[in-house]
Amino acid sequence: MNQNLQNILKLVEESEALSAEQKKSVADWIKEVDKTITVTEFKLDRTEKVKKTTAILLEETIQELELKRKAVQETNDALHKSLEELKATQQQLIQSEKMASLGELTAGIAHEIQNPLNFVNNFSEVSSELIDEMTEELKKGNMEDAQAIANEIKMSLEKITVHGKRADGIVKSMLQHSRTSTGKKEPTDINALADEYLRLAYHGMRAKDKIFNSAMKTDFDESIGLVKIISQDIGRVVLNLITNAFYAVNEKKKLNLNGYEPTVTVTTKKTGNKVEIIVKDNGIGIPQKALDKIFQPFFTTKPTGQGTGLGLSLSYDIVTKSHGGEIKVDTREGEYTCFSIILPV
Ligand SMILES: Nc1ncnc2c1ncn2[C@@H]1O[C@H](COP(=O)(O)OP(=O)(O)OP(=O)(O)O)[C@@H](O)[C@H]1O
Ligand SMILES: [Mg+2]
């Protein structure tokens, strides 16, 4: 029993002022109080223990959480690093895709430059001969003939300028193609662009495969005028669509079907405030199960090493993201494929 209570109990027992009955009842109260105190002490003690255990548990939980936080942080860092690496790889792939298509173009470009170069060489030879002739006439005093020859020389020089500029333009577009896009939209003659890439793609195919052949048809809407586009990007889209089309007709030709005539048609159209560039081929077509995947990066049915499968996915991004347009496909397996690029004007 609590010491103070014992003292009180003793005092009560020794007291003469209280009757025996009163003493007993006070003693009972004191015992009752003592019991209550003991119970309270016990409860307090237990609470204290619970508190301690809880504190320990809490400490452990905090430590565990800290460990987990660190693990999450590490995973996060690792993920971040992989993402950076992936981005870098993707960038490299895009660049090598550009270089590959530049390689495809080189043969076409060489062929395209050869034509204006021949003109320049011929007309400069002609001009030189004409000057000799003119000198002769001048010596003889035939001013009228000399004047006529001078006019011819001027015409010849004008042709040299035209073809020189054409070669210049081809080289410039080749350089542009290899460079990263400046991302600037400029008024562009879409028909000229489509025509140019059609021929470049054709000669590119011919350079790789001497026996490749396909009819090329164009149906250009002359009312289109200039359209604001990032021309080198749309150029790449058109080039990829045409290259895919040539590939598809070539694959079908290998089947040696009777009377098959490989044909690729490029059409342009203006409808309302939209311009459409349509590339159609009568090649192998796209099977239904591949159709859902053709715009996915790296999806290709070409043999390993021949295609990266980035062509259509890049085209999709260029048309939709940079130009706010649409790219649609219509196809029948074994019969035809038709891609349309729809651009807002
Ligand atoms: N005109 C088409 N006819 C038939 N199949 C096509 C045509 N265009 C695309 N495809 C299919 O879509 C796939 C993906 O085309 P995409 O241009 O993205 O890549 P790729 O041509 O295979 O490779 P890359 O363009 O990098 O050379 C092709 O492999 C082919 O299976
Ligand atoms: Mg392609």
* Nearest protein Cα to ligand 1, atom 1: 245
Q: Is the pLDDT of residue 97 over 90?
A: no
**pLDDT greater at residue 28 or residue 206:** 28
Mean pLDDT, residues 293-314 taken together: 83
Domain 181-345 = CATH 3.30.870.10: no
Task: Kindly state the average pLDDT of the residues 46-71.
Answer: 94
The pLDDT of 319-336, averaged and rounded, is 95
Per-domain residue ranges of the chain: 181-345
**Mutation test of ligand 1: which of 242, 300, 330, 332 has the most ligand atoms closer than 8 Å to its C-beta?**
300
Ligand 2 centroid–CA 307 distance in Å is 7
Long-range contacts formed by 319-327: CB under 8 A, 24+ apart: 319/234, 319/237, 319/343, 322/183, 322/230, 322/233, 323/229, 323/230, 323/233, 323/234, 327/237, 327/295
Which atom of ligand 1 is found nearest the CA of 299? Answer: 14
285: CB partners within 8 A, 6+ apart: 248, 331, 332, 333, 334, 335, 336, 337
pLDDT digits (tens, 9 = 90+) for 140-166: 999 999 999 999 999 999 999 988 888
Atom of ligand 1 nearest to the CA of 312: 18
pTM, entire model: 0.61
Q: Count the neighbouring beta carbons within 10 Å of the beta carbon of residue 233.
A: 20
The 10s digit of each residue's pLDDT in 283-299 is: 999 999 999 999 987 78
- What is the Å distance from ligand 1's center to 241 Cα? 8
For residue 313, the CA-to-ligand 2 centroid distance in Å is 9
Pocket of ligand 1 (CB under 6 A): 97, 240, 244-245, 248, 281, 283-286, 290, 294, 299-302, 307-313, 337
